Chain A
Amino acid sequence: MLRLPPFRYLAPRTLSEATRLLAEEGPQAMPVAGGTDLLPNMKRRQFTPAVLVGLRRLRELKGISGSPDVGVRIGAGETLTSISNHPLIRAHYPALALAAAAVSTPQLRNAGTIGGNILLDTRCNYYNQTEFWRHSIGYCMKRDGSICLVAPGSPRCWAISSADTAPVLVALQARVRLVSVRGEREIPIQELFYDDGMRPYTREADEILQEIWLPPALGWRSTYLKLRRRGSFDFPILGVAVALRREPDGRIGDARITLGAVASHPVEAEEAMARLRGQQPTPTLLQEVATLAAKRARPLDNADLTITYRKQLTPIYVRRALDLLVEAEQGSGAE
């Protein structure tokens, strides 16, 4: 039986009360939204916060509103189910709807929030294990130990960014707003991530992620492909988010390609994006771009299925995502 360690639970009613509680309780406190990541991790003793500050009641974290021409605001407390079902998101930011719908199972999507998904703890086969297991293998530096068990000589942790919506939000160039008693900041979502499995976020312990802003969507098409062992339940072992804007003459106006689950943060394939811009998307070019993008994937042997396989599949998935968008465009153009 896996049990939660003892903790105190606080249930603030407003965002300012929540930030105040977080500030007062200090780093021993953690916010909890749906709890679908944090509570299992607590049961396995990856986290043992003395205090949990519940975010469920905060109205400031709710709501999805806007339009494709001004952009959309999503409260960080919205569930993955409401995001994947929302007509505005399905129609204009399909990659996000697809990613939200691809997370785990219906029950977990009903409870899990987008804020919690963005701030999902990084994952590793040697880390997402019970206390008994980690004890029997000898702990690693991400928690309780001193070395990395995947790359024993390495000074850092390579645990994997495994959130489905994170690469999509990067590809869509979303911005996020963080609030604390010290003030507010609104940053491009890329700046929320560090390339470090142990400290993957620039979020400070007293900050609450309040909302996500998606830029105007006019002219953009997007999609998300997820590789995993089974068609439900399982975390991504590769996520490919692609957003494209075509010029009237068919050339690619702008392109964003972001890979999930290949590093400790969502990885942008800059070289590949640059190669696409201003070009006609011929099959040869798309293949070249896929190969370029895949170079950015340097998985380690710490997730489901072997590295070789995950490496081999990266260009294939990127290529398929690009094909989907280009074909869809040509399909609709022919009408």
Chain B
Amino acid sequence: MLHEAQRQASSVLIGTALPRQDGEAKVSGRARYAGDHLPAGVLHARLVTSPYAHAFIRRINPSAALALPGVVAVFTAANLGLRSSDGSVRSLEPLAGTEVCWCGHPVALVVAETEALAEDGAAAVEVDYEPLPAVLDPEAACRPGAPRACLQRDFRETLRQSHALFLPPGTSLEEEGLSPNAAALPPLRMGKIEEGLREAEVIVEEHYRTSPVHQSYLEPQTVLVVPDAHTRQLTIYSSTQGLLNARRAVALALGLSERQIHVEPVPVGGGFGGKEVLLEPLVAAAALQLRRPVRLVYTRQEELLAGNPAPQTAITVKLGARRDGTLTAIQVRLILDSGAYPYPLAGLSGFHFSNLYRCPHLAIQSYLVQTNKPGSAAYRAPTGPQAYFALESTVDELCRRLGLDPLAFRLRHALREGDARVPGGRWPRIGLVECLEAVGSHPLWSERERVRSELPAELSGWRVGIGLAAGGWPGATEPAAALCRLESDGSCTVIVGSVDMSGSDSSLALIAAEVLGLPPRAVTVVHEGTDTMPYSGLTAGSKTTYALGSAVLAAAQDAREQILTIASELLEAAREDLELRDGRVTVRGVPDKYVTFQQVAANSTNFGARYAPVFGRGRSANATSGPMFAVHLAKVAVDPETGEVRVLDYVAAQDVGRALNRGEVEGQIYGGVAQGIGWALQERLVYGEEGQLLTGTLMDYALPHSQDVPSITPLIVEVPCELGPFGARGAGEPPVVPVAAAIGNALRDALGLRLTELPMTPEGIVRAWQESESGNRTPSAGS
């Protein structure tokens, strides 16, 4: 049930498209990101990275670097002074000790007076390596005789350490015939899969492979650490997605107390999951020793080489159904490339396959595999694009086999409120069916026969297809707090500790404005640093508006109550008779009987004033998350002779619970679809046989260009979520999820071919086309 005030609210503002508060500063270049802070005496740091994907370090000789004028220090694992760690978290062990496990693995940090000198210094550090065999492909790494990706650390042990909650003591990670590089994760099950497969009259099984992909945020990873001249206090400016997370990691790594570390709020230029904590402890350690500010800003090449990209996967999906179209079994084998460190989202990945359809029998077995690549991390709906590409491609194939309409099949099996959930419990109210219905009545689907025949003149000879795919994100939640302060000019300040990655501030402002009856520009959202901020966790999982928004709502309601109390005394009117509108408290029906917010402020702040200051406090702990779903339609044209693909039209339906700032919600959808097109058709980090990155610049790592992204039509679905502010769910993760599958299904429609590898490149398409042509010829030749 929604809060009373939310229902009462006339919702003048909710659902409109409002400009972002930070928009002007960002567009004009005035926004000051972490890297824009250059305190006096700042030193610049550069990494020395391993050219080998796997090697022992015999010796590091910094003397030539140290001899360069302007080079201040060279740090290695031996003299960085970090607490020893178990190797399960990269940020806590930022420099390799005696073994490098991926090409790009940092082995030393050079600190110098200028960026150029640091670069020179890094080139002058001599490292003597003893190369070792490397293993790059996650499937190959699973096989029993595969080289060990890391010799000095037991992967399963580090995994246990880093996933203690998900892997209770005693959980076996072993499996017969599995290399020690790999861990068999606890299976997810519902019903009896053998029974489901036995009942099936039709079984479809496909094997998929996806590539590692970089989050490609605009602002590179950046850390500036300013030590106090006299004490062991550190002030940190970082591109992190979570201020307290950065503080905790630095405290842990350096053995300081959290109160000694002050992480300042700065604007962040995108993160998408790739900017939790990576370099903060490293730079902090250097600054603490040198007692001077130290700054490290990744180059784009370092981003691609030594970031923490989304994992490569290999997925087998087996679906069983009866001839009447009843789904009886979903069986999945998911191989996740962990890179050199345990993938932090290992425990979550398998669930994607259980989060779309009702199916009595389900078995999902995931494997996490260590390889000689940088550690994998989150990227917008972690493992979602990979999982739904596999699942939704197979569902499309199943529908074709059964001769069923893919929308009807999905509508029939779509999860609804009350359905059983893996691993237990029931689904709350969700909007999957509504999203399916929304695309179903869009002309791109309902008139697809006609739409398919519409082709731009310059593409004559190309084939056209329309594809449908669904996807979701279970949501996330975390307790949060916020404050709301009335200013003397009658405006209001909302104080939070979140990191705004997506424009969430504009939604927070809207929530407060709506509750207080203020125009949105009269609400300012202010970010506090770790010393004073109300609690806020990592900005991740599409939970900022959902969880922190609830706290802001409560804070604004608290402030509203305080304002009403003061106003009712000033106006000598009953509270029930008062209404808040346009910065005034008015007696209902008596328009000229009012007090302004300024008057309320004056009576509660001035010298000798009678009332306590208006200072709203809000806390939230939404017990459950608000699952969100998206259903997409893609119209693509493909030239079968050359394999070139053009996405011509795109429709994206998404249940956002309630669109608070419609412009921001649409922005999330546009951005997510654009990134999804990269996943689908272009992006991949390619590693050579020995593990060197072959796509180390944006010339080689192909991000989509403006020309590659078509016009996108968002269809906003609003199935209110019980605990979200005004019924809102999150909006950030879902729009990237179904894109690869929608485009893959459209290509299937156009060519009659199932593409099973991401990205779906022109050459892959030509190869598949030629194979199918020769495959088609064989039977006719025999007859």
Tell me whether A233 and B705 are in contact (CB under 8 A): yes
Tell me, yes or no, whether B260 is within 8 Å of chain A by CB.
no
What 0/1 pattern do residues 114 to 153 of A give for CB contact below 8 A with B? 0000000000010011111101110000000000000000
Cβ of B219 to closest chain A Cβ, rounded Å: 15
Tell me whether A309 and B762 are in contact (CB under 8 A): yes
Out of B52, B299, B707, B766, which one reaches A136, CB within 8 Å?
B52
Tell me, yes or no, whether B675 is within 8 Å of chain A by CB.
no
Chain A binding site: helix, strand, loop or mixed by DSSP? loop
What 0/1 pattern do residues 293 to 321 of B give for CB contact below 8 A with A? 00000010100000000000000000000
Q: How far is the CA of A309 from the CA of B690 in the complex (A)?
A: 24
Tell me, yes or no, whether A285 is within 8 Å of chain B by CB.
no
Tell me, yes or no, whether A154 is within 8 Å of chain B by CB.
no
Tell me, yes or no, whether A183 is within 8 Å of chain B by CB.
no
Tell me whether B682 and A313 are in contact (CB under 8 A): no
Cβ of B684 to closest chain A Cβ, rounded Å: 12
Tell me whether A230 and B642 are in contact (CB under 8 A): no
Tell me whether A313 and B707 are in contact (CB under 8 A): no
The answer to whether residues A1 and B115 also contact, given A229-B702, A309-B763 and a CB cut-off of 8 A, is yes
CB-CB under 8 A from A229, the residues of chain B are 682, 702, 762
The answer to whether residues A125 and B103 also contact, given A3-B116, A309-B766 and a CB cut-off of 8 A, is no
Cβ of B68 to closest chain A Cβ, rounded Å: 14
CB-CB under 8 A from B690, the residues of chain A are 137
Tell me, yes or no, whether A306 is within 8 Å of chain B by CB.
yes
Tell me whether B301 and A232 are in contact (CB under 8 A): no
What 0/1 pattern do residues 185 to 228 of A give for CB contact below 8 A with B? 00000000000000000000000000000000000000000010
Which of A135, A136, A234 is most buried by chain B, counting CB atoms within 10 A of its CB? Answer: A136
Cβ of B339 to closest chain A Cβ, rounded Å: 18
Cβ of A132 to closest chain B Cβ, rounded Å: 7
Out of A129, A136, A231, A305, which one reaches B708, CB within 8 Å?
A231
The answer to whether residues A231 and B705 also contact, given A130-B301, A135-B51 and a CB cut-off of 8 A, is yes
The answer to whether residues A136 and B51 also contact, given A3-B116, A125-B694, A316-B642 and a CB cut-off of 8 A, is yes
Cβ of A178 to closest chain B Cβ, rounded Å: 30
What 0/1 pattern do residues 221 to 251 of A give for CB contact below 8 A with B? 0000001011111100000000000000000
Total of A-B residue pairs, C-beta within 8 Å: 65
Cβ of B688 to closest chain A Cβ, rounded Å: 7
Tell me whether B119 and A3 are in contact (CB under 8 A): yes
Tell me whether A305 and B762 are in contact (CB under 8 A): yes
Tell me, yes or no, whether B542 is within 8 Å of chain A by CB.
no
Nearest to B770 among chain A residues (CB) is: A312
Tell me, yes or no, whether B221 is within 8 Å of chain A by CB.
no
CB-CB under 8 A from A334, the residues of chain B are none
What 0/1 pattern do residues 675 to 715 of B give for CB contact below 8 A with A? 00000001000001010111011011010110110000000
Interface set, chain A 305-335, CB cutoff 8 A to B: 305-306, 308-309, 312-313, 316
Tell me, yes or no, whether B239 is within 8 Å of chain A by CB.
no
Out of B49, B52, B115, B643, which one reaches A132, CB within 8 Å?
B49
Q: How far is the CA of A128 from the CA of B695 in the complex (A)?
A: 11
Tell me, yes or no, whether B761 is within 8 Å of chain A by CB.
yes
CB-CB under 8 A from A137, the residues of chain B are 688, 690, 692
Tell me, yes or no, whether B130 is within 8 Å of chain A by CB.
no
CB-CB under 8 A from B699, the residues of chain A are 128, 233-234
Out of B52, B299, B708, which one reaches A1, CB within 8 Å?
B299
Tell me whether B702 and A132 are in contact (CB under 8 A): no
Q: How far is the CA of A236 from the CA of B720 in the complex (A)?
A: 51
Which of B49, B641, B708 is most buried by chain A, counting CB atoms within 10 A of its CB? Answer: B641
Tell me whether B116 and A230 are in contact (CB under 8 A): no
Nearest to A128 among chain B residues (CB) is: B699
Cβ of A307 to closest chain B Cβ, rounded Å: 10
Cβ of B533 to closest chain A Cβ, rounded Å: 33
Q: How far is the CA of A2 from the CA of B700 in the complex (A)?
A: 16
Cβ of B729 to closest chain A Cβ, rounded Å: 35
CB-CB under 8 A from B301, the residues of chain A are 2, 130, 132
Interface set, chain B 716-742, CB cutoff 8 A to A: none
Tell me whether B763 and A230 are in contact (CB under 8 A): no
Interface set, chain A 147-185, CB cutoff 8 A to B: none
Tell me whether A312 and B766 are in contact (CB under 8 A): yes
Tell me whether B692 and A136 are in contact (CB under 8 A): yes
Out of A129, A136, A316, which one reaches B103, CB within 8 Å?
A136
Cβ of B548 to closest chain A Cβ, rounded Å: 36
Interface set, chain B 33-49, CB cutoff 8 A to A: 46, 49
Cβ of A96 to closest chain B Cβ, rounded Å: 21
CB-CB under 8 A from A316, the residues of chain B are 641-642
The answer to whether residues A308 and B763 also contact, given A135-B51, A316-B641 and a CB cut-off of 8 A, is yes
Interface set, chain B 84-132, CB cutoff 8 A to A: 103, 115-116, 119, 123
Tell me whether B694 and A305 are in contact (CB under 8 A): no
CB-CB under 8 A from B299, the residues of chain A are 1-2
Q: How far is the CA of A133 from the CA of B693 in the complex (A)?
A: 8
Cβ of B2 to closest chain A Cβ, rounded Å: 46
Out of B115, B641, B708, B767, which one reaches A230, CB within 8 Å?
B708
Nearest to A125 among chain B residues (CB) is: B694
Tell me whether B696 and A230 are in contact (CB under 8 A): no
Cβ of B310 to closest chain A Cβ, rounded Å: 21
Tell me whether B707 and A305 are in contact (CB under 8 A): no
Cβ of B524 to closest chain A Cβ, rounded Å: 37
Out of B682, B700, B763, which one reaches A306, CB within 8 Å?
B763
Q: How far is the CA of A312 from the CA of B768 in the complex (A)?
A: 13
Nearest to B690 among chain A residues (CB) is: A137
Cβ of A210 to closest chain B Cβ, rounded Å: 31
Q: How far is the CA of A33 from the CA of B628 in the complex (A)?
A: 55
What 0/1 pattern do residues 523 to 554 of B give for CB contact below 8 A with A? 00000000000000000000000000000000
CB-CB under 8 A from A308, the residues of chain B are 763, 767
The answer to whether residues A313 and B705 also contact, given A133-B692, A137-B692 and a CB cut-off of 8 A, is no
Q: How far is the CA of A308 from the CA of B643 in the complex (A)?
A: 13
CB-CB under 8 A from B682, the residues of chain A are 229-230
Tell me whether B707 and A231 are in contact (CB under 8 A): yes
Tell me whether B707 and A232 are in contact (CB under 8 A): yes
Nearest to A304 among chain B residues (CB) is: B700
CB-CB under 8 A from B116, the residues of chain A are 1, 3
Q: How far is the CA of A45 from the CA of B173 in the complex (A)?
A: 48
Q: How far is the CA of A135 from the CA of B52 in the complex (A)?
A: 10
Nearest to A231 among chain B residues (CB) is: B707
CB-CB under 8 A from A131, the residues of chain B are 123
Nearest to A104 among chain B residues (CB) is: B699
CB-CB under 8 A from B119, the residues of chain A are 1, 3
CB-CB under 8 A from A136, the residues of chain B are 51-52, 103, 692
CB-CB under 8 A from A309, the residues of chain B are 643, 762-763, 766-767
Q: How far is the CA of A229 from the CA of B644 in the complex (A)?
A: 9
Tell me whether B696 and A129 are in contact (CB under 8 A): yes
Interface set, chain B 465-479, CB cutoff 8 A to A: none
CB-CB under 8 A from B700, the residues of chain A are 304
CB-CB under 8 A from B642, the residues of chain A are 227, 313, 316
Q: How far is the CA of A308 from the CA of B682 in the complex (A)?
A: 19
Interface set, chain B 119-178, CB cutoff 8 A to A: 119, 123
Q: How far is the CA of A311 from the CA of B116 in the complex (A)?
A: 43
Tell me whether A230 and B692 are in contact (CB under 8 A): no
Cβ of A240 to closest chain B Cβ, rounded Å: 12
Nearest to B115 among chain A residues (CB) is: A1
Nearest to A308 among chain B residues (CB) is: B763
Nearest to B302 among chain A residues (CB) is: A1
Given contacts A230-B704, A231-B707, A313-B642, 12 further A-B contacts (CB under 8 A): A1-B299, A2-B299, A128-B699, A129-B696, A130-B697, A132-B51, A137-B690, A229-B682, A230-B682, A309-B766, A309-B767, A316-B642
Can you pick out 24 interface pairs between chain A and chain B where the beta carbons lie within 8 Å of each other?
A1-B115, A1-B299, A3-B116, A129-B696, A130-B301, A130-B696, A131-B123, A133-B692, A133-B693, A136-B692, A137-B688, A137-B692, A231-B705, A231-B708, A232-B707, A233-B699, A233-B705, A234-B699, A305-B761, A305-B762, A306-B763, A308-B767, A312-B766, A316-B641
The 6 closest A-B pairs by CB, nearest first: A136-B51, A309-B763, A231-B707, A316-B641, A1-B299, A136-B692
